[in-house]
Amino acid sequence: EAGVTQFPSHSVIEKGQTVTLRCDPISGHDNLYWYRRVMGKEIKFLLHFVKESKQDESGMPNNRFLAERTGGTYSTLKVQPAELEDSGVYFCASSLRAGGLMNTEAFFGQGTRLTVV
Amino acid sequence: AQSVTQPDIHITVSEGASLELRCNYSYGATPYLFWYVQSPGQGLQLLLKYFSGDTLVQGIKGFEAEFKRSQSSFNLRKPSVHWSDAAEYFCAVDPNTGFQKLVFGTGTRLLVSP
């Protein structure tokens, strides 16, 4: 079974450009999460989807970030326009269902390293 | 403020030696506790987790962690380190949201010397 897959693995863009990151969760996982790690700092929660709905987007830094989850399957995270401070590693995770944590281990992708120059 | 602290940024251990990675949290109630590992080029992999019950938790790859409520700590241990354990280790908590909205520490990079 395929794990959580993220595309691209690396992206280098200029300040002011737009970048779209993609995450394909494990098939059948209703919950999808985005996290970000800025260089040298902790991994921070961005948002959480349950199927196609945003359950919690309290971690989104500002309105330059837009996340979508079409049909409750894959998700995209768009940054427009990108700024230097957006550089970091963006992780996606998915879990089978929420509640009853014994069965809701979050599986993480390998991350997308975004560099804004 | 609620936070997770991993005081050691880097640790170097000789192969075969024991390992302890420290993690402290500051939450009013006991959160759910996790340790993840990220090997080069890989995603975050769950090593172990603590929700309740026995305070000594066994995980994969020979790791264990002990929850100490009095110290607000959840330290990760391994009795004998292998070269393949070289990676970055993250302590994380879920402050009882039940939705895997995890709060991570800054990570500890483990280097294993021959």
Unique residue bearing structure tokens 């993690």: B23
**The pLDDT of residue B94 is above 70:** yes
As a whole number of angstroms, the distance between CA A94 and CA A105 comes to: 8
Percent of chain A with pLDDT over 70: 93
Mean pLDDT of B16-23: 97
Q: Report residue B96 as tokens.
A: 């009882």
Q: What percent of chain B has pLDDT over 70?
A: 95
What is the DSSP-derived secondary structure letter of residue B82? Answer: -
Residue A91 has what pLDDT?
A: 97
Cβ-based contacts of A24 with chain B (< 8 Å): none
Can you give the pLDDT at residue B1?
Answer: 64
> Residue B43 has what pLDDT?
87
Strand pairing class (B32-38; B87-94) = antiparallel
Q: Write phi, then psi, for B7 (nearest 5 degrees).
A: -70, -20
Q: Which pLDDT score, from 0 to 100, does residue A72 have? A: 85
Q: Which of B43, B98, B107 sits opposite A108 (nearest CB)?
A: B43
The verdict on A40 touching B (C-beta cutoff 8 Å) is yes
Nearest partner of A46 among A12, A72, A69, judged by Cα = A69
Torsion sign (Cα): B108, A58, A23, A102 = positive
Q: What is the mean pLDDT of residues A41-51?
A: 93
Does A42 contact B104 at a Cβ distance shorter than 8 Å?
yes
Are A106 and B100 a contacting pair, CB within 8 Å?
A: yes
> What is the per-residue pLDDT across A66-116, written as a single tens digit (0 to 9) for each?
999 988 899 999 999 999 999 999 999 998 876 555 556 789 999 999 999
Q: How confident is the model at residue B29 (pLDDT cuts 50, 70, 90)?
A: confident
Q: Radius of gyration of chain B from Cα atoms?
A: 13
Q: For strands A31-37 and A19-24, give the pairing.
A: unpaired
Structural contact between residues A47 and A114, judged by C-beta atoms closer than 8 angstroms: no
Question: Is some CB atom of chain B closer than 8 A to the CB atom of A94?
Answer: no
Amino acid at A111: G
Q: Considering only CB atoms, which chain B residues are within 8 Å of A104?
A: 100
DSSP code string of B16-49: TS-EEE--EEE-SS--EEEEEEE-TT--EEEEEE
pLDDT 10s digits, B43-69: 899 999 998 888 999 999 999 999 999
Is some CB atom of chain A closer than 8 A to the CB atom of B39? no
Q: Flag whether residue A49 sits within 8 Å of chain B, measured between CB atoms.
A: no
pLDDT of B92 strictly over 80: yes
Where does the pLDDT of residue B98 fall: very low under 50, low under 70, confident under 90, or very high at 90 and above?
low
Residues of B in contact with A48 (CB under 8 A): 99-101
More confident residue, A16 or B31: A16
Judge whether A112 and A9 are in contact, CB under 8 Å: yes
Average pLDDT over chain B, rounded to an integer: 91
Parallel, antiparallel or unpaired: strands B103-104 and B108-113: unpaired
Q: What is the mean pLDDT of residues A40-48?
A: 92
Contact A88, A38 (CB under 8 A): yes
Average pLDDT over residues B15-34: 90
